[in-house]
Structure 1
Amino acid sequence: MTGIVDVAARAGVSVATVSRALRGLPGVSATTRAAVQAVAAEMGYVASPSAAGLPTGRTGAVGVVSPVARGWYFTAVAEGAQEVLSAAGYDILRYGLADVETERRRVVDTQLLRKRVDALMVLSLPLTPDEVTALATMQRPVIALGPVMTGIPTVRIDDVEAGRTATRHLVELGHRRIAFVGGDPAHHLGFPVAPDRQRGYEDVLRQAGIEPDPALVARAAFFAEAGAEAFAELKRRGTLPTAVFAVSDEVAMGIVYAARQDGLRVPEDLSVVGVDDHDLSWVLGLTTVAQPVREQGRIAALSLLARLQGGDSEADGSVVTMPTRLVTRSSTAPPPS
């Protein structure tokens, strides 16, 4: 079986040079890289990610850590990142922390990460100061998507403004009984999106002279079934709102489904707006605050690649805030008279 040593001997270069050339790493001239690739193709040699990392200390992988592995947002971000990283010869390792604190300690373990990944992407997970310090000592590039943390470059949207945009749309349509659905109080990982979007919701209500009503706030994790359960909870409390701002499109989809099952018409009886512009939002005619999810993954991956290829793991803590926009569809209308 042909090995990396055979390729190095045929190409007349070192094993380390073959590894760098085939992994797309810096330090190899274009001419040498092309020659090594040609020899490898001729000999039928395919680099093993683990073996290729031995001479260089690189693993050829980037870790993606998120509160949960499930969910359209996390999958879409990873897809955007993978487009960029795969083209550069890197694989993605995904870690979902679920609800187990011991799992978080295992994943955010610098000794393990140093052996497994060359860089780390942290999605919507506010790290503790101790975790930030530990990752800095790992000497691997780290980037965050979502919450801003000192010393870690971040790609984000303004979640407070997203909440304002959604609520302002409903207020301008004439709604005054507007519910907010989102935020799981049992979630100990500190997922910060729902509180920020709720703050934007409350800001706009107060600006419109509407005092936020705790009875119109229902908690829900970021899944469609949680949205359906939240609708049932609002119904149990008595008078339903005329409109709902859901923390995400998946939650909004669950609300729309439950409302229709209950005999309500959307939007004639109940307007619903979400956030994300999920791939299937148009199917339900869902009004949403769109964010460029896959583009955030691409930008984060490009930032990591620049640092990997430059051989520098240091970061300046810069923050890139991506724009959002209201996409109006058929799930919102003026309140019933």
Structure 2
Amino acid sequence: MSAIADVARLAGVAKATASRALSGRGYVSEETRLKVVAAARAIGYVASPNAASLVTGRTKSVGVIIPFISRWFFSEVLESMEETLLAQGYDMTLYNLPAASPERDSVFEYFLARKRFDGVISVGVALSAGEVDHLHRLGRPLVGIGGPIRGVPTIAIDDVASARLATEHLLSLGHRDILHIGGNQADEMDFKVHSQRLTGFYAAMEEAGCRPEGAFRPCEFTMPGGYRVGLSVFGDPRSRPTAVFAASDEIAMGLIVAARELGIQVPADLSVIGIDGHPYAEMFRLTTLEQHPRLQGQLAVTTLLTELESPTPRNDSDHLTVLPTNLVFRSSTSRPRSHAGA
């Protein structure tokens, strides 16, 4: 098996120089680094992560806790984090974190505590005070995505403001009979995503002086969920709204499919707007608020690696970075028929 001494001999440098060139720790000239890398490739040398860990104290591994894997937002964040970590020479271990349960406790008490990670990223998980304390006692950097976590740098969007902007877009077009189809409050996601988007919707409607009773319908956060609710809501033309703000793009796309089946023209008869920036949104010509989950994943990794290199003193204040969402106007929204000639 090839060793670092063989690489150094072939490159014509000292063993310590070869080690610095391959680990990236310590200065070597670019010319020397390229010679060492070429020598390592020529003899098939692969650095031992265990040996590197003994020298640097790093495992080059990051633990990630997440409530869902198959849902679009979370899969986009995960893919982005994995790409960013791999580019920096890091590995990722994923834990699908259930709700409060013995299984959840074991993730914190056994896996995250006994397995060696350089840091932990929490995606869409509102950690309890005890869980936060437990992770802090491990002495490893922790970064969150989704909402504020005590004493932890976190990244999120403003769900209330985003929902308000989506609703104000419909109001600006002249719609007043607007329905919000969003997550079931009984199935609330961590960081209260469902209720925060409902709050933003109601705030915009109340400011416009047009909050009708029954302006909200609960729905699964999926395309089939939007489709099923769309069939039931849009079937009666006497109670059909002129516009819908959907709490996710997947719900919105399901609503558009239901409307088409019922012979309802979007946007002539019904305007639809969502939140997410789903890759299928363009295919459905869906107007939406993009929240850029891949950017959130990249920023979480960058924040964690920066903390590894330059640790900052921990305190109990929140370090929340709120990323902006942007309105992407497509052809699923327009002025209502009554305003078409105005």
Q: Which stretch shifts more, 1-10 or 44-53?
A: 1-10
Give the Cα separation in 2 of the matches to 1:31 and 1:280.
47
Structure 2: how far apart are the matches of 1:53 and 1:320? 32
Counterpart of 1:275 in structure 2 is: 275
| Pair 53,227 (structure 1): closer, same or farther in 2 beyond 3 Å | farther
What secondary structure is seen at the aligned counterpart in 2 of 1:30? coil
- Post-superposition Cα deviations, 1:86-145, rounded to whole Å, max 9, x if no partner, equal 221012233333567344333334653551532122122211111111111111111111
Deviation at 1:275, TM superposition (A): 0.8
- Aligned position for 1:219: 218
Distance 1:184 1:227 in 2: 12
Q: Provide the C-alpha distance between the structure 1 equivalents of 2:314 and 2:225, rounded to a whole number of angstroms.
A: 38
Shift of 1:9: 9.7
Q: What residue in structure 2 maps to residue 259 of structure 1?
A: 259
Contact 1:183 1:221 in 2 (8 A): yes
Equivalent-residue separation in structure 2 for 1:263 and 1:212 (angstroms): 26
Structure 1: 4+ residue segments shifted above 6 A:
4-11
TM-score (norm: length of structure 1)? 0.85
- Unpaired runs of 5+ residues, structure 1, are none
CA contact 1:23–1:60 (8 Å) conserved in 2: no
Q: Which amino acid aligns with 1:71?
A: R
How big is each residue's C-alpha offset from its partner over 1:153-190, in whole Å with a ceiling of 9 and x where there is no partner? 01111111101100001111122221112223443663
Listed one character per residue, the Cα deviations across residues 204-234 of structure 1 (whole Å, up to 9, x for unaligned) are 0000112253x33222333212222332453
Letter in 2 for 1:268: A
Contact 1:59 1:116 in 2 (8 A): yes
The residue number in structure 1 matching 2:328 is 327
Equivalents in 1 of 2:8, 2:132: separation in Å? 40
Residue identity in the other structure for 2:182: G
Aligned position for 1:117: 117
**CA deviation string 1:22-60 (max 9, x = no partner):** 555x5x333599376455334312245566545544332
Structure 2 unpaired stretches of 5+: none
| 1:54-88 C-alpha deviation (Å, 9 max, x unpaired) | 55443322223222111221122223333332221
Q: TM-score, normalised by structure 2?
A: 0.84
SS class of match (1:209): coil
Match of 2:28 among 27, 30, 45: 30
Distance 2:276 2:161 in 1: 13
Structure 1 match to 2:138: 138
For residues 169 and 234 of structure 1, do their structure 2 counterparts lie closer, same or farther at Cα, with a shift above 3 Å needed? same
Identity %: 40
CA separation in 2, counterparts of 1:204 and 1:40? Answer: 62
Contact 1:228–1:251 (CA under 8 A) maintained in structure 2: yes
Q: Secondary structure at the match of 1:144?
A: strand
Which entry has the higher C-alpha Rg, 1 or 2? Answer: 2
Root-mean-square deviation over aligned CA pairs: 3.1
Q: Secondary structure at the match of 2:115?
A: helix
Q: Where does 1:109-258 land on structure 2 (aligned, <5 Å)? A: 109=109, 111-187=111-187, 190-213=190-213, 215-235=214-234, 239-258=239-258
8 Å CA contact 2:274–2:287 kept in 1: the answer is yes
Larger mean Cα displacement after TM superposition, 191-200 or 92-101: 92-101
Report what 1:285 is aligned to. 285
Q: 1:141–1:313: 8 Å Cα contact kept in structure 2?
A: no
